[in-house]
């Protein structure tokens, strides 16, 4: 049963990733992968929140697995991030690639910390 719930949540997360990425990127006025950055940072907030809620408010492990592994695992994307960095490098945009790496790491860690703190107090 848990496996089926993770699979359904994963399908939802994958669709959400596509919708959010396209909505953000279509409004960006550059080739910089803003959509991927927004997806990964927002996913880090949610995963941090789920982790904080699990630790501090005893959110059931099943829900953390379904939502964290299933939905947020499918929503966030390291592979697209890696592809975007490679694409920027092959398009002779090494500064943009470096900015993407730095912004992604800092935004992800910061967003996870914010989510963890929110999960602890809510």
Q: Which residues, 6+ apart, have CB-to-CB distance to 46 below 8 Å?
A: 67, 72, 75, 115
Q: What percent of the chain stands above pLDDT 70?
A: 100
pTM above 0.85, yes or no: yes
Q: Tell me the average pLDDT across 83-110.
A: 97
CB 52 within 8 A of CB 120: yes
> What does the pLDDT read at residue 122?
87
Whether pLDDT at 11 is above 90? yes
Place of tokens 């994307």: 77
Domain that holds residue 38: 2-121
- CA distances (Å), origin 52, targets 12, 42, 47, 104, 118: 22, 15, 9, 21, 7
Could you tell me the end-to-end alpha-carbon distance of the chain, in angstroms, rounded to an integer?
Answer: 28
Task: Return mean pLDDT, the chain.
Answer: 97
Query: Where does the pLDDT of residue 86 fall: very low under 50, low under 70, confident under 90, or very high at 90 and above?
Result: very high
Please count the structural domains in the chain: 1
């Amino acid at each position: 049963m848990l496996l089926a719930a993770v699979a359904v949540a994963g399908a939802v997360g994958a669709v959400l990733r596509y919708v959010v990425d396209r909505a953000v990127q279509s409004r960006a006025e550059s080739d910089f992968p803003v959509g991927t950055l927004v997806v990964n940072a927002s996913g880090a907030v949610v995963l941090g929140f789920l982790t904080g809620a699990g630790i501090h408010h005893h959110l059931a492990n099943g829900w953390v697995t379904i939502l964290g592994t299933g939905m947020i695992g499918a929503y966030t994307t390291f592979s697209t991030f890696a592809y975007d960095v490679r694409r920027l490098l092959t398009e002779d945009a090494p500064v943009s690639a470096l900015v993407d790496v730095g912004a992604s790491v800092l935004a992800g860690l910061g967003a996870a910390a914010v989510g963890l703190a929110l999960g602890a107090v809510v």
